[in-house]
């Protein structure tokens, strides 16, 4: 039994870990990197066609966003997750594929005028739809027999609709080991969704550490704090622009604004309009409603039972088409604009920043974590100008952050979560945290709470049977650019070709013992393809 560390090790995004046990190869999450790499990230330990299963903690793109790439490179296994996560992935992965294709098309239109090489998207809509068909949703707290010697169970992590920690039992011969993958551990007392549930037993725990060195600054009332910011912005005649994750954070903001309107906290602008400018957010809001009886907390359910939609109110405008999105900034009335992406890396929010960042009467309000290297992080750190759509935009708007507004547990919440394990795990692996945060938090767990904790780097390998490290590399700093843009694109296309070849080998192996007639026809097809593409060996 081996545990491989691939992504989100001494980093916050790009989550991916891997298990080799019971003759099977398993990934836990396969997320997209957001912002810049701090350290070089190891490749997957096996060719994609050889991977049997993926266990998915939740739908956020930094945990699920590379699943279509996995499919494009030959993965044809099963993806296990919760029912709500399966619903959310159906829209989020399609949306991600649309962004990949749209941005490639835009770059090609721009680059064709200057003779630049063609850009290919990271993956296509076909890839997203292919992997969506592989996703299977299961209820919380149901023990699932995945394969011989492999069982899993999803426990509510309280981070997002459908989010989970995953309990994994592995049995080889007479040895059974239990692993727990925390996923993203939720903040307590979030609107709509329940608090995280605790797990009490495990041999090994992989836990996130996003806020491992910080406490959330929690206002007495999020709604009151938000109302103050809205009122101040409107008094200046400006717009309040909220970069927000389309799934989870957007619905929480709507919950607070419904309360603000009910209590008439913006008395001088009682009928103010709120635009949700994200087709993904609109679809996600519908999924929240569909899963309300399974995932809502008691307070939200109490509203539902009274016939009140907790995330809807008068003045709410849902923008779907690009024309509707463009019209928002031609309306000069002060308004709230909620748009994705939450870290300002893609999507319609960048257009709203272009129209509002230079206006001193406006406010840009951040309501979630901003990863290192993202535009959102740059704005939070006080940059004076940004580049959007080929233009330099001066930052004159007020940049604010709603304190304590986080879907992640803070330091104390993380400590409470890990201290529910009794007896203590044999090993705690601290992951999903910025470089120094992961080290500081693992050191505290070891020295203050007597936990055998360690923060591994990408490329580390741990033997679960012998309780020993097989590889324990140091982090290798990543250069800003591995290749020129043209070289990087060519490399990505060639990697897809190599993956296709590896899948072919996997298919050949699985056909061992087939009818000679069928195998002969298959062989002829492969040889014909090789004859077409074979090139003379270079001298």
Condensed to tens digits (0 to 9), the pLDDT of residues 311-347 reads 999 999 999 898 999 999 888 999 999 998 889 988 8
- Based on C-alpha coordinates, what's the Rg of the chain? 24
**If we measure between CA atoms, which residue out of 230, 323, 221, 210 comes closest to residue 273?**
230
| Whether the Cβ atoms of residue 154 and residue 524 lie closer than 8 Å to each other | no
Number of Cβ atoms within 10 Å of the Cβ of 360? 12
Number of Cβ atoms within 10 Å of the Cβ of 440? 18
Residue 187 dihedral angles phi and psi, to the nearest 5°: -75, 145
- What is the C-alpha to C-alpha distance for residues 100 and 269, in angstroms, rounded to an integer? 39
pLDDT value at residue 530: 83
Is residue 506 over pLDDT 90?
no
What's the farthest any 2 CA atoms get from each other in the chain?
A: 81
User: DSSP secondary-structure letter at 77?
Assistant: S
Least confident of 130-144, 285-299, 521-535: 521-535
**How large is the average pLDDT for residues 265-272?**
93
Is residue 537 over pLDDT 70?
no
Helix, strand, coil percent content, the chain, rounded in steps of 5: 35, 20, 45
**How large is the average pLDDT for residues 371-390?**
91
CA 344 to chain centre: 14
- What is the C-alpha to C-alpha distance for residues 157 and 163, in angstroms, rounded to an integer? 6
DSSP alpha helix (H) spans, 50-204: 61-64, 67-72, 83-112, 125-132
pLDDT value at residue 493: 67
pLDDT value at residue 196: 96
Confidence of residue 186 (pLDDT cuts 50, 70, 90): very high
pLDDT value at residue 524: 84
3-state secondary structure of 74: coil
With 0-12 / 13-18 / 19 or more C-beta atoms within 10 angstroms meaning exposed / middle / buried, residue 170 is buried
- What is the C-alpha to C-alpha distance for residues 215 and 404, in angstroms, rounded to an integer? 8
Q: What percent of the chain has pLDDT over 90?
A: 67
| Conformation bin of residue 344: beta by default, left when phi > 0, alpha when psi is -120 to 50 | left
CB-side neighbour CA atoms (13 Å) of 438: 22
**If we measure between CA atoms, which residue out of 207, 222, 224, 352 comes closest to residue 278?**
352
Is residue 36 over pLDDT 80?
no
The neighbouring-strand residues paired with 186 are: 408
3-state secondary structure of 432: coil
pLDDT digits (tens, 9 = 90+) for 381-418: 999 999 998 899 999 999 999 877 888 999 999 999 99
Is residue 528 over pLDDT 90?
no
**If we measure between CA atoms, which residue out of 388, 306, 319, 385 comes closest to residue 354?**
388
Confidence of residue 484 (pLDDT cuts 50, 70, 90): very low
Is residue 287 over pLDDT 70?
yes
* Average pLDDT across the chain, whole number: 91
End-to-end CA distance of the chain: 44
User: DSSP secondary-structure letter at 452?
Assistant: -
Confidence of residue 102 (pLDDT cuts 50, 70, 90): confident
**How large is the average pLDDT for residues 496-500?**
75
**How large is the average pLDDT for residues 222-234?**
95
- The vertex-103 CA angle with 102 and 107, nearest 5°, equals 120
pLDDT value at residue 441: 98
| Whether the Cβ atoms of residue 100 and residue 469 lie closer than 8 Å to each other | no
| Dihedral (Cα; 447, 451, 455, 460), 10-degree rounding | 140
pLDDT value at residue 248: 87
CATH of domain 2-215+407-471: 3.60.15.10
pLDDT value at residue 402: 87
Confidence of residue 483 (pLDDT cuts 50, 70, 90): very low
Confidence of residue 480 (pLDDT cuts 50, 70, 90): low
**How large is the average pLDDT for residues 178-198?**
94
Number of Cβ atoms within 10 Å of the Cβ of 497? 11
Confidence of residue 115 (pLDDT cuts 50, 70, 90): confident
The DSSP result for 304-336, as a single string, is: HHTT--TT--TTEEEE-SHHHHHHHTT--S-EE
pLDDT digits (tens, 9 = 90+) for 50-86: 999 999 999 999 999 999 999 999 999 999 999 999 9
- What is the C-alpha to C-alpha distance for residues 534 and 327, in angstroms, rounded to an integer? 54
For the segment(s) 222-401, the CATH number from 3.40.50.10890, 3.30.70.1560, 3.20.20.150, 3.40.920.10 is 3.40.50.10890
**How large is the average pLDDT for residues 428-446?**
96
The neighbouring-strand residues paired with 4 are: 18, 461
The DSSP result for 179-242, as a single string, is: EEE--SPBPTT-SSBPPPPP----SEEEEE-TTTT------S-HHHHHHHHHHHHHHTT--EEE
**If we measure between CA atoms, which residue out of 417, 407, 338, 436 comes closest to residue 160?**
407
Cis amide prior to 185 (ω within 30 degrees): no
């Amino acid at each position: 039994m081996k545990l491989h560390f691939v992504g989100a090790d001494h980093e916050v995004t790009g989550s991916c870990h891997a298990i080799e046990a019971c003759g099977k190869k398993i990934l836990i999450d396969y997320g997209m990197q957001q912002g810049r790499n701090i350290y070089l990230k190891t490749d997957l330990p096996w060719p994609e066609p050889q991977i049997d299963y993926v266990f998915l903690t939740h739908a956020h793109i930094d945990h699920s966003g590379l699943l279509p790439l996995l499919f494009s490179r030959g993965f044809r296994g099963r993806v296990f997750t919760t029912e709500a996560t399966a619903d959310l992935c159906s829209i989020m992965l399609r949306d991600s594929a649309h962004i990949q294709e749209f941005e490639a098309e835009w770059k090609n239109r721009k680059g064709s005028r200057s003779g630049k090489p063609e850009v290919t998207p990271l993956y296509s809509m076909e890839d997203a739809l292919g992997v969506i068909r592989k996703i299977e949703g299961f209820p919380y707290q149901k023990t699932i027999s995945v394969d011989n010697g492999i069982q899993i169970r999803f426990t509510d992590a309280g981070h997002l609709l459908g989010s989970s920690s995953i309990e994994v039992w592995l049995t080889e011969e007479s040895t059974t080991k239990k692993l727990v993958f925390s996923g993203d551990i939720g903040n307590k007392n979030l609107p709509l969704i329940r608090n995280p549930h605790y797990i009490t037993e495990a041999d090994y725990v992989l836990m996130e550490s996003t806020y491992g060195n910080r406490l959330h600054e929690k206002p007495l009332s999020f709604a009151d704090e938000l109302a103050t910011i809205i009122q101040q912005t409107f008094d200046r005649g400006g717009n309040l622009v909220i970069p927000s994750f389309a799934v989870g954070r957007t619905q929480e903001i709507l919950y607070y604004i419904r309360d603000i309107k009910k209590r008439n906290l913006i008395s001088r602008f009682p009928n103010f309009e709120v635009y949700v400018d994200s087709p993904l957010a609109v679809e996600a809001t519908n999924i929240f409603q569909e899963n309300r009886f399974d995932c809502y907390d008691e307070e939200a359910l109490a509203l539902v039972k009274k016939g009140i939609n907790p995330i809807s109110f008068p003045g709410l405008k849902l923008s779907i088409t690009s024309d509707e999105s463009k019209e928002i900034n031609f309306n000069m009335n002060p308004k709230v604009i909620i748009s994705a992406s939450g870290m300002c890396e893609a999507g319609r929010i960048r257009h709203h920043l272009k129209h509002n960042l230079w206006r001193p009467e406006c406010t840009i309000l951040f309501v979630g974590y901003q990863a290192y290297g993202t535009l959102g992080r740059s704005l939070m750190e006080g940059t004076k100008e940004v580049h959007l759509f080929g233009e330099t935009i001066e930052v004159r708007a007020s940049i604010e952050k709603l304190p304590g507004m986080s879907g992640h547990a803070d330091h104390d919440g993380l400590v409470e979560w890990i201290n529910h394990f009794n007896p203590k795990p044999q090993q705690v692996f601290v992951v999903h945290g910025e470089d120094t945060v992961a080290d500081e938090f693992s050191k505290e767990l070891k020295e203050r709470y007597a936990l055998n904790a360690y923060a591994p780097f990408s490329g580390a390998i741990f033997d679960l049977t012998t309780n020993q490290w097989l590889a324990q590399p140091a982090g290798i700093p990543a250069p800003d650019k591995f290749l020129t843009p043209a070289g990087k694109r060519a490399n990505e296309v060639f990697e897809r070709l190599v993956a296709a070849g590896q899948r072919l080998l996997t298919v050949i192996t699985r056909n061992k013992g087939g009818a000679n007639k069928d195998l002969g026809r298959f062989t002829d097809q492969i040889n014909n393809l090789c004859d077409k593409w074979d090139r003379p060996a270079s001298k």
